[in-house]
Amino acid sequence: MSVLQQGDRHAIAAGLTVANIASSFISPLRQAPERPIVITPHAQPFVTESMVKSLRGLPLRDHVESVGIDAYCAFVVDLDNQGHVSLWTKPPASQAGEADDYDGFIARIAAQYAERVADLERLPEAAGLSVAEALQRIAAKSLGALNQLSDAALVAGIPGADEIAAILPAIEVEVNGPEPE
């Protein structure tokens, strides 16, 4: 188990990195009034490639008993802080099917969530609440959250997704009423 889970096997640890591949950058932290603008050159794409490669080495855990983080995703941007910004989609940016691409990140979170709540009856009560009451509180505080979790479970194709897709939206409707058409 990772330090990130703080000893709680039910905690989901996810990480997201945004790496900059711009060949130069104007950092607001390096600027001083009445002085010329400081532009920092970067040896690209080598610097970003090295960073992304290093972070791809983070251990990902496949179930709650293993060690590592549950989900990780990396984005690469081309941002010079002079007005230009774009999402970089070529390598070293994550490519479809790689462990750190966004779709895989969402699927891993959904799968880890499903593993932890596959048997709702075994979960401890949250602050004296039943599981149903805790889900109702989530629905009341975060409109649409249960529907989003349901959709993510279906998209990820995780075991129990059909059951999750039946239960969570029903609780959402029970608490918040049907979605307006």
pLDDT in tens, 25-72: 888 888 899 999 898 998 999 999 999 999 988 888 877 777 788 899
pTM of the model: 0.59
Q: What are 121's two structure tokens?
A: 């009856």
45 forms beta bridges with none
| Distances from the Cα of 113 to the Cα of 8, 44, 68, 81, 117, angstroms | 14, 37, 15, 37, 6
**Single-letter residue type at 44:** Q
Task: Assess whether pLDDT exceeds 70 at residue 91.
Answer: yes
Looking at the structure, tell me whether residues 100 and 124 fall in a common domain: no
Q: Give the residue numbers spanning the domain of 106.
A: 3-114
Q: Are residues 130 and 154 in the same domain?
A: yes
Q: What is the pLDDT of residues 111-167, one digit of tens each?
A: 888 777 666 566 555 667 777 888 888 888 888 888 888 888 888 777 788 888 888
Mean model confidence pLDDT for the chain:
83
Q: Which amino acid is at 38?
A: V
**Last residue of a domain, which of 62, 79, 114?**
114
Last residue of a domain, one of 92, 114, 136: 114
Q: How far is CA 22 from CA 81, 84, 174, in A?
A: 9, 9, 49
Residue 181 lies in a domain: no
> Both 125 and 41 in a single domain?
no
* Residue where one domain finishes, among candidates 67, 98, 114: 114
What is the C-alpha to C-alpha distance for residues 39 and 36, in angstroms, rounded to an integer? 9
Q: Same structural domain for residues 100 and 126?
A: no
Structural domains of the chain, count: 2
Residues 30, 108 within the same domain: yes
Q: How many residues does the chain have?
A: 181
125 and 81 share one domain? no
For residue range 169-179, what is the model confidence (pLDDT) as tens digits? 888 888 988 87
Place of tokens 């691409």: 101
Instruction: Determine the Cα angle at 59 with ends 159 and 73, to 5°.
Output: 70
